[in-house]
Amino acid sequence: MKDSELALGDSVSSGLMRSLRLCIRREKRVDLAAIIENFEQ
């Protein structure tokens, strides 16, 4: 994998985790399975 691809993957996953935490904080709970399903599509 190229460095640029790796950096992009890192920023995408960190962005995902950030929005996931915001979601959890806002909702106090989150349907993790549904989020993972949406992410894998």
For the stretch 14-31, pLDDT in tens is 888 888 888 777 765 667
Q: What is the pLDDT of residue 1?
A: 58
Cα–Cα distance measured from residue 37 to residue 40, given in angstroms and rounded to the nearest whole number: 5
Cα–Cα distance measured from residue 3 to residue 23, given in angstroms and rounded to the nearest whole number: 30
Q: Where are the domains of the chain?
A: 3-40
pTM given for the model: 0.39
Average pLDDT of the chain?
Answer: 77
The percentage of residues in the chain with a pLDDT greater than 70, rounded to a whole number, is: 83
